[in-house]
Chains A and B, each alone.
Chain A
Amino acid sequence: MVETTESDVIKLQEQFKAEALTPGQLVRMRFARHKMAVLGLIVLLLLIIYSFGGAFFYTETEANFTDTKIRLSAPSAEHPFGTDTVGRDIMIRTIYGGQISILIGLSAVVVEVIVGVLIGAIAGYYGGWIDSLLMRFTEAMFNIPQLFLLLVMAKFFGGKVPNLNFLGREFSGSVVVIIVIIGITSWMYLARIVRANFLSLKEREFVLAAHTTGTSNASIIFQHILPNSIAPIVVSATLGVANAIISEAYISFLGLGVQPPTATWGNMLEGAYNYIETAPWLWIFPGSLIVLTVLSINFVGDGLRDALDPHALVDAG
């Protein structure tokens, strides 16, 4: 009889054990089952390639080049999307405008996530009067209609921020203003989600266990509890990108957002309402790009919501 110790047996079994799926693999598998989400992701990638790849073919000077002789010309071989009221090529402007719109969407969400997670996490973790104070503040922010807050802030801060250089491009200071004001007017919902998550997670035994090894509060908040609530944050942030793009579009549409000549999908719509019937290409192209982007992001968000839910079943087949 061959002598085998218990640990030998375990080692032997370990060798034959199927490699377990990592959480990342599980998420990808569940996401892939969501057809619309995959489609949304593909469209989104195409849009990103369109606006960032297009920059290799056209310069920004071309996007801002005005030629009033050809103003309001319909789509043609030379100007596939037509030209606008001052004769700028709409296709090149949608390329550069897309960059700004997408960047605003992403950066505003970064601001939103930082503020929302900080406030939600601190309120939920510490509780007591800190929680009351932060949540009353959140509710106060909730009660001011976001549109008015955006417009007032855009008006107030507009023109006060100098232009800056980034990624080899000159950005109008108004871009930064828009990013910050969208960020700081949209974090409330996320803060509530994070707070609710922290309220339940902080009572879990692993938090107590982390305390017993001397882990500090900051480290428990950010390294132990936060990774557990990453799923709702990711979903909310994804949908936040879509909202930020829409917010930018409507402030710019009202003329208080990003200032021309810097193009965004939103400010390209500005003035287009005078030509709704006579020159529909003015709004069809930027408008559809906004709709397409927002719709795709929402599908991706939906897909992520299902994929990141640990209770969802995995059907590997």
Chain B
Amino acid sequence: MEPILEVQNLEVKFHTLDGVVNAVNGVSYSVEAGKTLGIVGESGCGKSVSVLSIMRLIPDPPGKIAGGKILYLGNNLLEYDETSMEHIRGAAISMVFQDPMTSLNPVLTIGKQIGEAMMFHHGFTRDQAERRTIELLNLVGIPNPEQRIKEYPHQFSGGMRQRAMIAMALSCTPDILIADEPTTALDVTIQAQIVDLTRRLQDELGMAVIWITHDLGVIAELADRMVVMYAGYIVEEADVFQLYENPLHPYTLSLLKSLPRVDSSRAGERLATIPGFPPDGITVLPGCPLAPRCRFAVERCMQENPHLEQFVADHNVACWVDVTTGKER
């Protein structure tokens, strides 16, 4: 099946006072209609920057998309002008953010905020937009929507606001929904509701979802394909089952290990952590960016940065070491 969105060799740099930050370094991924792509990684590894580039919403200056292509239905979005992008945003690709507390405008009613995109993209009248907004709020499971559209964000709870954000993102039935850590600011029960809701809506509407998270537990339920990012590179890419059953990159292994488990036999033990911090992206070392934090690191890791290669069928990994044997490939 043809991918609906294809990111090819995307490079994003931020020109800061401290130097040039290489936020995204030649990243490629794609997603098909009706499928979910999960992107995981630590904070600051380029997940959000790569999806904001898809929307062309990198703050410029200081950010700059330095190279690559973003193909939506075969058209390169990086060649679009601002006006054409406005017709893409919300209508073709829309986005849900991490913190529903801050991503709704505090002085506008929920109804107005959701209805606005439909009035812009579909030329709806105020009445049509309001009727559709009520339908949407019903769809995302907000009770009493006729009343609720007249309320302000502070009258909504966190979970309700995230539902409202999802309703807003879905208002113009986009082909692609980008969810940037949409459950991070919510508590666990609400997280589960939002995940269920997204899956249900995806089945009903057939859109592609790009779900960014650092929580491997949440994404396991949703994703079809997974991308693991580190320091602006994709270090591993595989089918979701493959990734969880045979992780091939030391970083993925560490992430999985640092996941708390209910059924753990290691009860009472401390949770595994990854020592150190991710690199700042300014100082570029010749080797693999993970090497200083990697327990599998060999001599070569310090000198050469590995490329993404396919070792197992449909499973790409960027590592000089075979983690199953612990030896250099």
A208 close to chain B: CB less than 8 A? yes
- Chain A residues lying within 8 Å of B147, measured Cβ to Cβ, are 14
B85 to chain A, nearest CB (A): 8
| A228–B107 CB distance below 8 A | yes
A231 to chain B, nearest CB (A): 10
| B55–A212 CB distance below 8 A | yes
| A205–B99 CB distance below 8 A | yes
- Chain A residues lying within 8 Å of B108, measured Cβ to Cβ, are 223-224, 227
A209 close to chain B: CB less than 8 A? yes
| A208–B97 CB distance below 8 A | yes
B271 to chain A, nearest CB (A): 30
- Chain A residues lying within 8 Å of B99, measured Cβ to Cβ, are 205
A155 close to chain B: CB less than 8 A? no
Q: How far is the CA of A230 from the CA of B107 in the complex (A)?
A: 10
| A211–B144 CB distance below 8 A | no
Selecting from A40-48, A81-89, A111-119, A213-221, the interface stretch reads A213-221
Q: How far is the CA of A10 from the CA of B108 in the complex (A)?
A: 24
Interface residue from B105, B120, B143, B151 paired with A214 (Cβ < 8 Å): B120
Q: How far is the CA of A227 from the CA of B97 in the complex (A)?
A: 22
| B86–A10 CB distance below 8 A | no
CB contact list, A1-50 vs B, under 8 A: 7, 10-11, 14, 20, 23
B90 to chain A, nearest CB (A): 4
| A14–B143 CB distance below 8 A | yes
A206 close to chain B: CB less than 8 A? yes
| B117–A215 CB distance below 8 A | yes
Interface centre among A11, A212, A219 (most CB of B within 10 A): A212
Known contacts A11-B144, A213-B94; A20/B151 CB under 8 A:
yes
User: Is chain A's binding surface mostly helix, strand, loop or mixed?
Assistant: helix
| A216–B141 CB distance below 8 A | no
Chain B residues within 8 Å of chain A by Cβ, number: 36
CB contact list, A229-245 vs B, under 8 A: 230
Q: How far is the CA of A100 from the CA of B318 in the complex (A)?
A: 78
A136 close to chain B: CB less than 8 A? no
A276 close to chain B: CB less than 8 A? no
Q: How far is the CA of A223 from the CA of B112 in the complex (A)?
A: 10
| A20–B155 CB distance below 8 A | yes
- Chain B residues lying within 8 Å of A210, measured Cβ to Cβ, are 105
Interface footprint category on A: 20 to 34
Q: How far is the CA of A204 from the CA of B152 in the complex (A)?
A: 17
| B90–A214 CB distance below 8 A | yes
Known contacts A14-B147, A20-B155, A214-B120; A209/B89 CB under 8 A:
no
A223 to chain B, nearest CB (A): 8
Known contacts A7-B143, A14-B147; A212/B107 CB under 8 A:
no
Question: Using an 8 Å CB-CB cutoff, how does the interface string of A116-135 with B read, 1 for contact, 0 for none?
Answer: 00000000000010000000
| B165–A209 CB distance below 8 A | yes
Q: How far is the CA of A209 from the CA of B101 in the complex (A)?
A: 12
Question: Using an 8 Å CB-CB cutoff, how does the interface string of B97-110 with A read, 1 for contact, 0 for none?
Answer: 10100111111100
B56 to chain A, nearest CB (A): 9
Interface residue from B87, B105, B120, B144 paired with A228 (Cβ < 8 Å): B105
- Chain B residues lying within 8 Å of A228, measured Cβ to Cβ, are 105-107
| B57–A214 CB distance below 8 A | no
Q: How far is the CA of A211 from the CA of B107 in the complex (A)?
A: 17
| A212–B155 CB distance below 8 A | no
| A209–B104 CB distance below 8 A | yes
Known contacts A14-B143, A14-B147, A214-B87; A205/B102 CB under 8 A:
yes
Interface residue from B57, B102, B171 paired with A204 (Cβ < 8 Å): B102
- Chain B residues lying within 8 Å of A224, measured Cβ to Cβ, are 105, 108
Chain B, residue nearest A204 (CB): B102
CB contact list, B42-101 vs A, under 8 A: 55, 57, 61, 86-91, 94-95, 97, 99
Chain B, residue nearest A127 (CB): B61
| A212–B106 CB distance below 8 A | no
Chain A, residue nearest B121 (CB): A214
Chain B, residue nearest A224 (CB): B105
| B117–A214 CB distance below 8 A | yes
Which A residues contact B (CB, under 8 angstroms)?
Answer: 7, 10-11, 14, 20, 23, 128, 204-206, 208-216, 219, 223-224, 227-228, 230
- Other contacts beyond A20-B155, A23-B152: 6, CB < 8 A: A11-B143, A14-B147, A20-B151, A206-B104, A212-B94, A215-B120
Query: Please, could you name 9 A-B residue pairs with CB atoms under 8 Å apart, sorted by A?
Result: A14-B144, A20-B151, A206-B103, A206-B104, A206-B105, A209-B168, A213-B90, A214-B120, A228-B107
Which B residues contact A (CB, under 8 angstroms)?
Answer: 55, 57, 61, 86-91, 94-95, 97, 99, 102-108, 116-117, 120-121, 141, 143-144, 147, 151-152, 155, 165, 168-169, 171-172
